[in-house]
Amino acid sequence: MMATQLTNMGWEKDSIVLGRWTNQRDIVEDLVNGIEVADNVEANTLRGYDFIHGQVSSGTGLLNEGTIITGVGKDRIIGTVTVEGNGSGNSGISSIFASTDMGSGNDRINGIVTVEGNGNDNNGFANGFFGIDTGDGDDKITGTVTVEGDGNGNRSFANGDGAMITGDGNDHIKGAVTVRGNGDGNSFASFSEARIDAGDGDDKITGTVTVEGNGNDNNGISLDFFGTIEMGVGDDTIKSVVEIAGNGNDNTGISMDGVFSTIDMGAGYDTITSVVEVAGNGNDNAGILINEETGTSTINTGDGQDEIDGSASIIGSGDFNRGIDNKGSIDTGAGKDKIYGSVSVTGDGESNFGIFNQGTIDMGNDVDVVQGMGVDAFSGFAGGGEILLGNDNDKIIGFGEQKVDGGIGQKDTAEFQFDLDDSITLGSIASNAIDITANGATMSFTNVEQFVFTNKSKTLNELIGLASVNK
């Protein structure tokens, strides 16, 4: 039998009209053959708390090739796929060359795929070219993919060239990919030439990727080729977690690996948290990766007391893991901002760093803190990039190859987790600058007034004096 078809006037199956759109609560369900909207169809459900649910055992639960408009009301759209054996290429909701407009109200959209065997390239949502607009209200969009066996390339949200717009309100975009076996290339959200616009309000984007076997190249959030997240004004949260129960390489909590990829948090007390946890051995994992190709990828948190926290934790052995890996730019704007980058490796490892910065970190105005926490006192930072602490009395914690400018402030402070002793080399070429070399790395400071070591504290002038004595 055919899927239930949404039409301009109502819904039908096998050319038999089953109902007409009203200003009351319209309920459309097909839990066997799913629901489809054909090209050039505008299914306007009018007002009311509408409910649309399509489910299949393989394929797409709700296939939209036209337009769905649910109008004002607390509307709900669900697309479900449940595959009893192996399954690939399934989508809970697919909206390619199509649009979904939920209107005002506390709306809910759910795309769900469950594969009881092995499964590849399944999507909770497949959204492209036009997009989803939930309108104003406290909206929630959820995408879930669960694979009971091995699984590769599965995504909660696959958004290409389209937009996901939640309008004003306290909105929540939530996704989860769970692979019970081994899994590579899975992601919570993948956006290529596409954007999320959460509008104003206290918005959240949260997602997890869990692989219970070995896993490589998994991403929480992946932004490629002009992929954009805009959170608008409000106290916004982005949280991405990748958990690998076995060995794992090249996994990333947030990956901005394309051209001009952007996260713009807008004004407010915003938080970005991105975590990679590998229970076995792991190499080249990163909590946050901002990778410049052509142009610059950017995180801009806007004004307000913002916090960025990127971490990578390896229980086994591992090399080249980073809490934050920045080759683009991070700009926290005005406000008491904090950036934390941390890495931990329980077993053997080398070249693991809290913050690997080859780009620019600009903390803006107000009292800010940047902290790089590595596997030892000398691996907090690396990469030779630039950190601008901005105006006011700021603090940088950790040591490694970086150029640090304290900006305008009377008491900018650098804190280290090692002693100032004969193993430390000091150099100065200006009255406001000092180079500190330890364990083979040099950290250069300009306009930083106070330096705190584990055994003593020194002012900039005192360190310059010691550098002159040791020439």
Range(s) of the domain holding residue 427: 395-471
pLDDT per residue as tens digits for the range 78-91 = 999 999 999 999 99
Query: Of 79, 110, 130, which closes a domain?
Result: 130
Query: Of 109, 130, 151, which closes a domain?
Result: 130
What's the whole-model pTM score? 0.93
| pLDDT-based confidence at residue 288 (cuts at 50, 70, 90) | very high
Residue 228 lies in a domain: no
Residue 91 lies in a domain: yes
* CA gap 109, 102 in Å, rounded: 9
* CA gap 77, 54 in Å, rounded: 8
pLDDT per residue as tens digits for the range 171-184 = 788 899 999 999 99
Residue 251 lies in a domain: no
Residue 161 lies in a domain: no
Q: String of b and e for 16-25 (b: at least 16 CB within 10 Å)?
A: eeeeebeeee
DSSP readout, 407-464?
A: -S-S--EEE-SS--STT-EEE-SSTTEEEEEETTEEEEEES--EEE-SS-EEEHHHHH
Which residues lie across from 403 on neighbouring strands?
Answer: 386, 444
Query: Of 130, 149, 170, which closes a domain?
Result: 130
pLDDT per residue as tens digits for the range 199-238 = 677 888 888 999 999 999 999 988 876 677 877 777 888 8
Residue 217 lies in a domain: no
Residue 177 lies in a domain: no
Residue 323 lies in a domain: no
The sign one gets for the Cα dihedral 147, 216, 172, 167 is: negative
- Nearest to residue 398, comparing CAs of 324, 307, 318? 324
State the distance between the two ends of the chain, measured CA to CA, in whole angstroms: 87
* CA gap 31, 20 in Å, rounded: 19
Residue 279 lies in a domain: no
Asked whether residue 161 carries a pLDDT value surpassing 70, the answer given is no
**CB-side exposure of 17: number of CA atoms within 13 Å?**
7
Q: How many domains does the structure of the chain reveal?
A: 2
DSSP readout, 15-47?
A: TEEEEE--SS--EEEETTT-EEE-TT-EEE--S
DSSP readout, 62-101?
A: EEESSEEE--SS--EEEEEEEESS-EES-EEEEEET-EEE
Mean pLDDT of the chain: 89
**pLDDT number for residue 134:** 65
